[in-house]
Amino acid sequence: MGHRVVAATPSVETRENPPLLSQSEIPGRRDQWRQIGNRVPRREREYLDVVEAECMTDGSSYGSRPEYLPDFMNDPHDDDGRQVVKLDLAENRALAAATLSRFPAATGDVIDFESTPFEGRLWWDDEEHWTRMAADLLSSHVQRGERIAVIWGNYLMPVVTMPADVAVRRARDILDAGPHFWMHPLGGSVLIECLMDGQVTVATIPSS
């Protein structure tokens, strides 16, 4: 199946994304969840936990749950895992200043593509489709031997870097870690946003 391509017009569509919440919305969401109990989607519960953690800390929670990363990234015996580097808080902030912080943010932490241009938009239908898409995207934007960064929507997970070929081989593991993430070829000018509803947006990072 080919990729579904949407023309590069600034619009955001959501289907099954976790809700994007501000701190003031958290109590109301918690009340709703008490009423429906275990029917609350797991990703939605995890997302709210992340929002609360970020609102209540000054960065001390960054990277505090490396066990949330895909298993191979924490396995010292895995050939791919040994090539993964976890960034510390200072490194994360430096990377964010050169990438995500240059984009306007929508409610929550996804990029507001309503107010900034992007190069193109794709949709994946399932994990197998995503794996093919990731290979195509990285081959288009990363030179052989270069590394990429994966920046997670979950602030408790440390940002990681790895060779592009590792990211391609482990694309399904990266997707499964969720809740959403960005890929950035180190030294490049592109940021790729991947949301859990299947939407993938490719954008050139603003110069300032």
Cβ burial 176-205 (10 Å sphere, 16+ → b, else e): ebbbbbbbbbeeeebbbbbbbebbbbbbeb
pLDDT given at position 195: 93
**Which single residue is written with the structure tokens 């191979």?**
72
* Residue among 201, 139, 191 at smallest CA distance from 164: 139
- Using CA atoms, how far residue 78 sits from 34, 65, 71, 82, in Å, is 41, 20, 9, 6
Amino acid at 173: D
DSSP-based three-state secondary structure for 160? strand
Of 2-16, 26-40, 134-148, minimum mean pLDDT range: 2-16
110: pLDDT strictly greater than 90: no
Sorted by where each begins, the domain ranges of the chain are 4-13+63-204
Phi, psi torsion values for 105, nearest 5 degrees = -100, 140
CA angle 48, 193, 105 (to 5 degrees): 60
pLDDT tens digit sequence for 43-68: 454 555 555 545 444 567 999 999 99
Phi, psi torsion values for 152, nearest 5 degrees = -90, 150
pLDDT tens digit sequence for 65-80: 999 999 999 999 999 9
Phi, psi torsion values for 53, nearest 5 degrees = -60, -40
Phi, psi torsion values for 98, nearest 5 degrees = -95, -5
* Alpha helices by DSSP H, the chain: 26-36, 42-56, 89-98, 127-141, 164-169, 171-177
pLDDT tens digit sequence for 127-179: 999 999 999 999 999 988 899 999 999 989 999 999 999 999 999 999 999 77
Which residues does residue 193 pair with via DSSP β-bridges, in sequence order?
Answer: 182, 201
* Residue among 146, 3, 18 at smallest CA distance from 83: 146
pTM score above 0.85: no
Q: Confidence band (pLDDT; 50, 70, 90) for 121?
A: very high
